[in-house]
Structure 1
């Protein structure tokens, strides 16, 4: 059945907006070429989108031709402002951007464990408000939050957890109360990091991959056929609870001690480094990541630093091999503070070990986004949500 004229117009408008988002400002001629539409159809959609306040003339094409230069059309970036939060147990980082994702302001605030739930929430909310004001945003259209912990698939809220501070769960409701016009949502930090790696990072060429998060917490995010998979209870990727050999016991329903986390979590990595005499540089924000970074910088074969990295790679391979055996993703990205610190040096060691223990081929890659992956993922999801609403869905 052929699409109705109104549906066809909506599809054309949506395609043009996506192209402007991906390619930047375009002329009507370029839109005609990229969309395959006729010149009159392109003229009509440009007129509709301009009248709706979604696009505007932002300049002229650089090539000089007979007559006037062609007008360049771009998305009206200040049509909406967005905020993204990376929520940690020790603090919050916030960025505010325009509709096309240009960061206008960024700030962070430490939140100590003894701050108390109410004061901690107030510090975080006030930080968002200050950063929005600095960015010149009168109001925020969408707020995306990345936080550790499980997301309830039914409610979209952070599930209660004894291992996380209560202010994490209270923050979403507090932001929605103080910013009643904003669309506020929360997502697991590892899932957001995976989405960022897929769009802008190490997995840009992959529709299916797993991000293994190695840091203060241990987890995994699963992208299958281009879609993030959360599972029936939102717990897909809770690999820290995976029972593994080499630990002092078994994990429980409330504690991952004894699971894979006990091999590769930040405390275990710091302990392993100390046993090998590998010390992090003075002033390192993370003892585990600092030790890994120091080992990578000075790891001649046979040295204590090399033996530390070899043992760490043995441990990481246990989790990677389990993921590959179950999901056959073809690619595993090592993220989190320890994964980032290990970089290609650690990834190469895991890759060689995986080839020995697994019959299934899989690339092992280091994250390319550094410590910005969660924040980048939160901003991308906020931008997508805002554009879905403002651009409309056919």
Structure 2
């Protein structure tokens, strides 16, 4: 009888298999937050011996915390395991001229460190410095970074962000990832806001929505079928460049023709002419207040609402989002102005489109960044 030599199992394959099982336990625990070993076995399908070893290691690593016995309807109460949100930290970085801000948060979205400073010097060096200083001794728990930029982002490169000095494509994502050694996601800040509102805000109950953010410029974040849509070049949602009410060939120095006329900046400038004095810090809110006592301001508010309505209608005709969230300065509309805008939209859209205020404010970017960074970390773990 000829002996057949047994081919040794590849150590790489064993390590890969072990990591897949480890990640399945982490994912199940993260989703459930508190569960027993029996629950883990049911969720992962792993045999008891394998699960016992993995749980022991994850407790030692700080991913799981062993709690007391839980409630039981039959037999002996089971010892419960709790997922530790501090085991996975993410950095949310926002580039918004003239400031850069960085927040370190756990997987529950709880901010544990924050810093804001004036932007200056090399962007990549500044981002890395902020993240490392804030995460400090917890760096082993850092699992991902998300960077929000006021421009177009594709494959980690940023362009058309003149307010932060990024006009030509600069590979921020790759550079930061190389320096920090964790997955880095770079995206338009409005995309992150839309993702944040869907995760924890006014879009939690829908899979399709459009977030319209009015600030120095005007941008939109689009979510369809539960996913952020960026387009081939990452420029989806750059609605400020739509030539509504303006000649398409007019040059605005990197600013789109629509946002040049109807952004918060444009409204602030018009308000100064309507009500001479200081430049308003909250132009839409102050316009609404002034419209209550000035016919000229009332007329201009009607123009603003009509312009925003036409923008929403144009987008709704193409993507049918079902719900539109107003963010930034647009969220400053009072109930009467919001109802007027809703009426203008309802009269023209081909399908029902609800207009609401976004509710998270500045926290929308944080929640979106946390979701992005954790997803990127999970994807990397799954492919390693």
Residue of 269, 289, 295 corresponding to 1:271: 269
Change (3 A) 1:341 1:289: farther
Aligned mates of 1:24, 1:18 — CA distance in 2: 10
Contact conserved, 2:132 with 2:139, CA < 8 A, in 1?
no
| Deviations 1:1-43 (CA, angstroms, capped at 9, x unpaired) | xxxxxx999998766644532342223455578x4x88x8578
* TM-score for both structures, normalised by structure 1: 0.77
Change (3 A) 1:73 1:296: farther
Match of 1:25 in 2: 34
Question: Helix, strand or coil for the counterpart of 1:141?
Answer: strand
State the Cα RMSD in Å: 3.8
Contact conserved, 1:343 with 1:367, CA < 8 A, in 2?
no
Question: Helix, strand or coil for the counterpart of 2:347?
Answer: helix
1:58 and 2:61 aligned: no
Contact conserved, 2:109 with 2:367, CA < 8 A, in 1?
no
Match of 1:127 in 2: 130
Aligned mates of 2:229, 2:82 — CA distance in 1: 34
Contact conserved, 1:208 with 1:329, CA < 8 A, in 2?
yes
Structure 2 matches for 1:306-345, cutoff 5 A? Answer: 307-335=299-327, 337-342=328-333
Match of 2:176 in 1: 175
Contact conserved, 1:61 with 1:70, CA < 8 A, in 2?
yes
Greater radius of gyration (CA): 2
| Deviations 1:342-369 (CA, angstroms, capped at 9, x unpaired) | 3655433321111122232100111111
1:347 and 2:338 aligned: yes
Match of 1:222 in 2: 222
Contact conserved, 1:101 with 1:383, CA < 8 A, in 2?
no
Match of 2:238 in 1: 238
Contact conserved, 1:124 with 1:171, CA < 8 A, in 2?
no
Change (3 A) 1:107 1:158: same
Match of 1:3 in 2: none
Q: Which runs of 5+ in 2 are unaligned?
A: 1-15
Aligned mates of 2:124, 2:18 — CA distance in 1: 45
Question: Helix, strand or coil for the counterpart of 1:126?
Answer: helix
* TM-score for both structures, normalised by structure 2: 0.79
Aligned mates of 1:96, 1:314 — CA distance in 2: 40
Deviation at 1:329, TM superposition (A): 1.4
Contact conserved, 1:256 with 1:262, CA < 8 A, in 2?
no
